[in-house]
Chain A
Amino acid sequence: MSLVFAGIMSHAPGITGRADRAPAELRDGLYAAFGRLREALEAAKPDAVIILAAEHFGNFFMNNMPAYALGMGEEYDGPIEDTAWLRIPHRLVKGNADLSRRLITNILNTVDVSYAEEWRFDHGIMVPLNFLDPENKMTVIPGNINCQGPPLTPLHRVWAFGEAIRRAADAVPERIALIGTGGLINEDWDREFLGRWLENDKAALLSYTDEAIYRDAGQGGFEIRTFIATAAAARGKGELWFYAPIPIYAVGCTSAVMEIV
């Protein structure tokens, strides 16, 4: 039917793995914001949720690194990490290979996305699922943008990928939700970036260079790609539901939604 929901959230492993070591009021505020995101996602009644992540060498490695990938499996599993370290229990996650195939076929008209019939979720997808789907009832389609092993895909292509996801979502009869998940890391820089994102200011979003991102924000900043693709897909303005740096989680913790236009 169409894209029915778009949001972004952080996924750093410390959010669950080192949950108790943050100030309680910060952690509770973050968890509440993630809970609000879950309620909004459920209210949109999606048939499938695309979690657009920046995975960290769980599945894709420098032997054959795709710039863009989407899952095309009937099921997935995770976390790939030690469950005691991440403090998220192992689960099988329901996919929809037929829906994936139709989305991928459409996206391939403009973006050479890879597909993967096997995908073991790392914390980049498991942390979001832990909060958005605690009962493990959603149908999930994992997506990935290489934000880890340079050369990284340029931001104008990230925008094109987001637009392609939107066209594909609008072309299938199912209701599709999109969650972009990445890691901000440096408070002043993060707030500046989120300002651009909330305004959906394409020119400002695409004006970053990786050298400047690394210098000013660190490696996690490369993962703004998932947020930028989400903005390209949604086309509207954003609404920030939570932002606070939580150092022990090693991330500027973020939760936001974007109007679908």
Chain B
Amino acid sequence: MSLYQLSKLLYTLNRDEAEQARFRSTPEKVVADYRLTDEERNAVLNADIGLIYVLGVNGQILMHFAALCGIEWADYLQQMRDGIKQHGPVRAGVYALMSSPDERVVK
């Protein structure tokens, strides 16, 4: 579990156009710059929004990664809901700190 590293990767991608270009051409090199678990690395490479949400990334970071991946707003919300169904409650981060098992999907 390296939520900080995973979050930092997405934070950097969100704000750095050069990094976005590098991610489009050689995504495996970008993820290699961060100390990620296999599950985290694959979630990013597969743009698995539901799993990234369950891993605990803040929605204010995740929504921009979803937009970068060309995922529509309604699909983004649905993928987070599906992620909880598939992988269980959010495991770390702000939503795990504050939430009950009756998980909500945030804006």
Contact = CB atoms under 8 A, between A and B. Distances in A.
Interface of A: 12-14, 18, 56-58, 61-63, 80-82, 85, 120, 148-150, 183, 185, 210-211, 214-215, 218-220, 248, 250-251
Contacts of A12: 107
* Secondary structure call for the A interface: loop
B107 A218 contact: yes
B107 A81 contact: no
Contact of B60 (A63, A148, A211): A148
Contacts, number: 61
Contact of B68 (A82, A120, A219): A82
Interface in B19-40: none
Contact of B106 (A13, A14, A150, A220): A220
Contact of A149 (B14, B58, B104): B58
Interface in B88-107: 94-95, 97-100, 104, 106-107
A219 B107 contact: yes
B40 to A, nearest CB: 16
A250 B61 CA distance: 16
B73 A18 contact: yes
A81 B106 CA distance: 19
Nearest to A214: B98
9 contacts: A12-B107, A18-B73, A61-B11, A62-B7, A148-B60, A149-B94, A150-B98, A219-B106, A250-B107
